[in-house]
Structure 1
Amino acid sequence: MSILYRSDAPRAAAWADYFAEHAADLDFRVWPDAGDLSEIEYLIAWQAPAEFIAKLPKLKVLFSSGAGIDHVDFSAVPAHIPIVRMVEPGIINGMVEYVSLAVLALHRDFFDYVAAKAARTWEPLEVPPASSRTIGVMGMGSLGSAVLQRLAAYGFRLRGWNRSPRHVDGVESFAGPDQLQPFLEGCDILICLLPLTPATKGILNRELFSALPAGAALINVGRGPHLVDADLLEALDSGQISRAILDVTEPEPLPADHPFWAHPRMFLTPHVASMTQPETAAPILMENVRRHQRGEPLTDVIDRSRGY
């Protein structure tokens, strides 16, 4: 059985070491030292161009090296080949850490104190209890559910919105387009963790912002194309959105002349909220390969009709 890793080059050695130690019977190869591509049966990749997939006649499974799969061109992957998204503790823990940091920074006025320090101003602000703020998460999959469960420990009021009904203990849940506005009306801090699909592209727009309470804050850790940039700038300038923390943009990297860089109420990070960790991801992926070899159902296979 031949597996080809064609993803994050700096982490390739860790993947190779794990498979060498725990699955010596599997022929694990790292791009570009792929050997004969006609022998590859499993592909671990971030980008999988059509012309490359066409060179893999024996491909049985495509494993995305990240939690998202919006970068995969479904039409380039034959319908009989399962596409598996990465769901592993390293990705989940990283996202929980980042979102917790962002929520707490907003809740405790961290950015106001950064500005006050620059101005050499000593001006304590009121410290509201967590129970006075409502945090809303759009997308209640594995990442969104984990974020909600962690935020519950701080005592925030929590609500979640999903395409289809989902239940998380202690969370007021909303589902479907008809319940989006009622969900938004109560969110002091809105977190986008939606998958990127044609239905969610541009969902963070003027109409959505206007449904939030005046002065709400936005955290986008989904994908850059979820956001209509001009609409966010307008909402920030009007005060409808008080602050925005963005880990994702469109395009990436963000051009040096983009207005987000200079906006005083915007905080940017370069798509680092969560990353696949080889030490936790490799065992899960290897077990999925073993399941396939045994003829058992794969876990975390995406539904092509839904786009995630």
Structure 2
Amino acid sequence: MSIARASPTRQEAPLPTILFAAKSERWTTYEPHLRTALAEQGLDHAHLTTEADPADVDYIIYAPNSGLSDFTPYTRLKAVLNLWAGVEDVVGNPTLRVPLARMVDEGLTDGMVEYVTGHVLRHHLGMDTHIHGQDGRWRDDSTPPLARDRSVAVLGLGVLGSACAQSLAALNFRTHGWSRSAKSIRGVTCHHGTGGLDGALRAAQIVVLLLPNTPATDSTLNACSLALLPKGAVIINPGRGALIDDEALLAALDAGHIGHATLDTFRVEPLPADHRYWSHPRVTVTPHIASATRPASASRTLARNIRRAEKGETLHHLVDRDLGY
């Protein structure tokens, strides 16, 4: 007589615990989008929370200003997914020993392209003269050049820089790009390395800064590099404040070598009320609004990456600890 054997009980995979480590107002904004995005990825069973026993946490969705700085107690941690595009405030943390992914969000990219394209066109067309010159007489009736006669350089050809360079090239600007390593982008003259930076600057009537913030990029625009730019060149910085030597830029503006600077990021934020940038006639200050992470699209990015990790796949947008981005 055969004895029926009970089928072994199928062991269900443990529920992944996802800790949302950011300020409380961000949780209010993100929670519904994250739950929807996780469900779309088949992760509706995941435990999404703002409080958990560190030993139970599998993933941390992380904002560097959350107050969490010691990752040591998170013994089950598989990955940290940054909520911000910049990782300079976390990449050097010695307690973080798991993969770190930076935020690459389609909404952030679109917003940056729109900001950069808008301000490049503003300076290309000389719009400030007409907007601020409504006093009953024509200030300047000269015709601006066509885009094909204007050179623009984008410093930094990552996701954001490449998208901006392609947008400018599509408008027929003579578009140059510079990056640490060699890149190839259709319609863009790509430069790389130290010598390549000099060439990109010498060619640029408008410079857009979209480099990461690392020790190697600090003060990329300094007295020496600013001197390479053609007289009257315009600088647009929606990237990182530390990319510019502020005193060198102010000196170049005062001397008339640099025609204008539109600045969205600064070494100290908010920009102090007594900073010379506020009162300088050749500086436009915008309050770090060039682009922002949109909760709906960012949540989809986060959920897709967690799903990849759960399947044992390599995360997208991994940070290179040695390079700092």
Please report the TM-score for the alignment, with normalisation by the length of structure 2.
Answer: 0.89
TM-aligned CA deviation for residue 177 of structure 1: 0.7
How many Å separate the matches in 2 of 1:86 and 1:179? 28
Q: Which runs of 4+ in 1 moved over 6 A?
A: none
How many Å separate the matches in 2 of 1:8 and 1:268? 26
The 5-angstrom pairing of residues 235-250 of structure 1 reads 235-250=252-267
Q: Does 2:117 align with 1:100? A: yes
The answer on whether the counterparts of 1:49 and 1:73 sit within 8 Å (CA) in structure 2 is: no
The answer on whether the counterparts of 1:50 and 1:77 sit within 8 Å (CA) in structure 2 is: no
The answer on whether the counterparts of 1:204 and 1:228 sit within 8 Å (CA) in structure 2 is: yes
Structure 2 counterpart of 1:63: 81
The answer on whether the counterparts of 1:99 and 1:147 sit within 8 Å (CA) in structure 2 is: yes
Of residues 272-281 and 65-74 in structure 1, the stretch that sits farther from structure 2 once superposed is 65-74
Structure 1 portions without partners, runs of 5+: none
Q: Does 2:49 align with 1:29? A: yes
How many Å separate the matches in 2 of 1:35 and 1:46? 17
Q: 1:3 aligns with which of 10, 18, 41?
A: 18
Please report the TM-score for the alignment, with normalisation by the length of structure 1.
Answer: 0.93
Please give the per-residue CA displacement for 1:192-251, whole angstroms capped at 9, x wherever unaligned.
100111110111111111001111000111111111111111011111110000010110
Of residues 241-250 and 146-155 in structure 1, the stretch that sits farther from structure 2 once superposed is 146-155
Structure 1 counterpart of 2:306: 289
How many Å separate the matches in 1 of 2:285 and 2:218? 20
Change (3 A) 1:307 1:281: same
Q: 1:75 aligns with which of 57, 68, 93?
A: 93
Aligned residues: 303
Amino acid at match of 2:122: A
Q: 1:150 aligns with which of 164, 167, 183?
A: 167
Q: 1:54 aligns with which of 65, 72, 97?
A: 72
SS of the residue aligned with 1:76? coil
How many Å separate the matches in 1 of 2:160 and 2:276? 30
Change (3 A) 1:51 1:128: closer
Structure 1 counterpart of 2:11: none
SS of the residue aligned with 2:93? helix
Change (3 A) 1:307 1:278: same
Percent identical pairs in the alignment equals: 37
Structure 2 counterpart of 1:122: 138
The answer on whether the counterparts of 2:19 and 2:52 sit within 8 Å (CA) in structure 1 is: no
The answer on whether the counterparts of 1:44 and 1:62 sit within 8 Å (CA) in structure 2 is: yes
Of residues 271-280 and 65-74 in structure 1, the stretch that sits farther from structure 2 once superposed is 65-74
SS of the residue aligned with 2:49? strand
Structure 1 counterpart of 2:282: 265
Q: 1:44 aligns with which of 52, 61, 70?
A: 61
